[in-house]
């Protein structure tokens, strides 16, 4: 019976990694389509999000079955409850990648953002892709040094997010109301993607150590 239980826990862990891999693929493709106003790639991201949603629902159902049938305690219980929460964060990351792709589709054939913010959003994209990759690596290895790397990347995203709003508040900003709304939404999507990556990282840290660390301590 214990072997069956451990096999079920392993499958849940593998399911998280599979979802995380798809999230990485989604954000990489979404940000590339965003930068290039590439409609076909944006459409692929939007369509592929259904797969992430399906896998999250399937994982959650399996985790709930384990809770109901096996009655786990201590670290095993933390693992299952943590997996439920992590799957929700990963699913939300997939949604945010889809939102970025939807902005690309909405404004096609024009770019979503003005040329003055191209470099800023390119760096936001790079950092989100970095976080997504490190989250997958963390789920596979449980190497807590990766938690600090994820948190540090999120700190950089926060600074860039503020830069975007400072740019829009400057007297030199002469873009249309529609562009201003698009930039506001896009910056928020990129920023929130990083937030959910940090959320997954904090939960892995808790599973490994049994201690819940405030976010500000993770980069130390």
CA distances from 193 to 59, 62, 71 (A): 21, 26, 33
Task: Tell me how far the alpha carbon of residue 125 is from its chain's centroid.
Answer: 12
- Collapse the DSSP code of 214 into the 3-class scheme (helix H, G, I; strand E, B; otherwise coil) and give the result: coil
Asked which of 57-71, 117-131, 188-202 is least confident by mean pLDDT, the reply is: 57-71
96-111: pLDDT as tens digits: 999 999 999 999 999 9
Q: What is the pLDDT of residue 217?
A: 46
CA distances from 12 to 68, 84, 89, 216 (A): 15, 9, 15, 29
Residue numbers of the domain that contains 157: 2-217
Which strand (E) or helix (H) includes residue 48? helix 39-70
Our count of domains for the chain comes to 1
Task: Compute the distance between CA of residue 74 and CA of residue 76 in angstroms, rounded to an integer.
Answer: 6
Task: Compute the distance between CA of residue 111 and CA of residue 45 in angstroms, rounded to an integer.
Answer: 17
Q: What is the pLDDT of residue 215?
A: 57
Asked whether the predicted pLDDT for residue 219 surpasses 50, the reply is no
CA distances from 196 to 3, 104, 147 (A): 32, 22, 13
Contact 193, 156 (CB under 8 A): no
> Is cis: bond before 152, omega within 30 of 0?
no
Contact 147, 212 (CB under 8 A): no
Contact 88, 167 (CB under 8 A): no
- The whole-number average pLDDT for the span 170-180 is 96
CA distances from 62 to 51, 75, 182 (A): 17, 18, 39
Percent of the chain predicted with pLDDT > 90: 79
Q: What is the pLDDT of residue 72?
A: 67
CATH number of the domain enclosing 33 = 1.20.58.220
Structure token digits, residue 177:
């109301």
């Amino acid at each position: 019976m214990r072997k069956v239980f451990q096999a079920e826990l392993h499958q849940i862990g593998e399911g998280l990694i599979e979802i995380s891999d798809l999230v990485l693929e989604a954000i990489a493709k979404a940000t590339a389509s965003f930068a290039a106003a590439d409609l076909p790639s944006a459409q692929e991201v939007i369509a592929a999000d259904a797969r992430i949603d399906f896998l999250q629902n399937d994982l959650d159902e399996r985790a709930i079955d384990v809770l109901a049938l096996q009655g786990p305690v201590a670290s095993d219980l933390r693992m299952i409850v943590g997996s439920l929460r992590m799957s929700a964060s990963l699913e939300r990351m997939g949604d945010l990648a889809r939102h970025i792709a939807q902005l690309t589709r909405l404004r096609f054939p024009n770019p979503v953002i003005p040329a003055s913010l191209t470099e800023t959003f390119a760096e936001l994209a790079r950092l989100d892709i970095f976080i997504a990759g490190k989250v997958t690596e963390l789920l596979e290895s449980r190497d807590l040094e990766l938690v600090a790397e994820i948190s540090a990347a999120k700190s950089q995203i926060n600074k860039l997010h503020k830069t975007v709003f400072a740019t829009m508040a400057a007297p030199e900003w002469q873009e249309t109301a529609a562009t201003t709304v698009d930039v506001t939404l896009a910056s928020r999507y990129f920023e929130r993607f990083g937030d959910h990556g940090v959320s997954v990282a904090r939960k892995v840290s808790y599973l490994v150590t049994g201690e819940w660390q405030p976010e500000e301590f993770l980069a130390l």
